[in-house]
Amino acid sequence: MATITKEAKYDCLVFDMDDTLYPLTSGLNLACRKNIQDFMLHNLHIEESQVAKMCLDLYKEYGTTMAGLKELGYGFDDDEFHAYVHGRLPYETLKPDPVLRSLLLSVPQRKIIFTNADKVHTAKVISRLGLEDCFDGVICFETLNLTPTLNFPAEKITTMTDDDLKSWTSEGRILCKPSLEAFETAIRISNIDQKRTIFFDDSPRNIAAGKAAGLHTVLVGSSVLVPGADLALESIHNIREALPEIWQDGEQFEPVLAATSAEAVVLA
């Protein structure tokens, strides 16, 4: 007699990184904002009295202050901006998180990071938290904002090297959360079924966009539900209590793609 196998409810978990995998109290968020404002003042020569409000207004309107500055026509190198903003962050405040590491490694589904940050910052944060072997891939700034040359085959995208990246060029506006286009692009690149994917983020507007994109959504950092959120968790550490079905699925089905000991690769 044939065995009838029930399909797992979820086959992928997508995580924001900053202020989601570690708490806002780390101070990185505040330090990053100050560095952005310093860049605006010293590198773009924006009037000091306007910097703080402009920084916040652009963040609210365009998803990131960087994206807003580009939209307004400010010309600067993406890598230079990221190096300035992230290069002086107090990464030492981030400590290895063995509890989160254990949780992530016990999850049988694919696990992907989806962040607006660049790949250098992402690698530093993941390393400081001790989570290098916990994820199957990363969707980051470079993933969403690089345009292939005509000579770069699409089928090679998932095996990109640093040399390959140099053959790509940044063009046009910056694509980032919470734009629906950024979510749709991330979903396509990751090759996930949004109806069977859970998205974790600390930002209410990202949660709303994730829900609009068809994802199951979990707000992290607050127990208060916001529009578009299916669940709200005070801490990422509360996943097992809030979503036991993740592990129940794992007891019955093989992992879709187990994390390896290698560093998570940047998907594109």
Could you read off the pLDDT of 234-254 as tens digits, one per residue?
999 999 999 999 998 544 333
In a domain, 260, yes or no: no
pLDDT higher than threshold 70 for residue 266: no
What is the structure's pLDDT at 89? Answer: 97
**248 and 190 together in one domain:** yes
DSSP one-letter string for 155-213: GGGGG--HHHHHT-B--SSPP-TT-HHHHHHHHHHHT--GGGEEEEES-HHHHHHHHHT
CB atoms within 10 A of CB 244: 10
pTM across the whole model: 0.84
pLDDT higher than threshold 80 for residue 256: no
CA dihedral 76, 77, 81, 84 (to 10 degrees): -110
Task: Tell me the average pLDDT of the chain.
Answer: 86
What is the structure's pLDDT at 130? Answer: 98
Is the pLDDT higher at 42 or at 265? 42
In a domain, 146, yes or no: yes
**76 and 105 together in one domain:** no
CA–CA gap between residue 217 and residue 99 (Å, rounded): 22
CA–CA gap between residue 99 and residue 73 (Å, rounded): 44
**68 and 128 together in one domain:** no
DSSP letter at 58 equals H
pLDDT higher than threshold 80 for residue 262: no
Which of 89, 107, 140 finishes a domain? 89
- Kindly indicate the confidence band of residue 7, based on its pLDDT and cuts at 50, 70 and 90: low
Count of domains observed in the chain: 2
- Predicted confidence (pLDDT) per residue in 79-137, tens digit: 999 999 999 999 999 999 999 999 999 999 999 999 999 999 999 999 999 999 999 99
**80 and 207 together in one domain:** no
pLDDT higher than threshold 70 for residue 163: no
pLDDT higher than threshold 60 for residue 162: no
pLDDT higher than threshold 80 for residue 37: yes
pLDDT higher than threshold 70 for residue 148: no
What average pLDDT does this structure show over 202-220? 98
What is the structure's pLDDT at 172? Answer: 62
- Which residue range(s) make up the domain with 205? 12-24+95-252
What is the structure's pLDDT at 146? Answer: 79
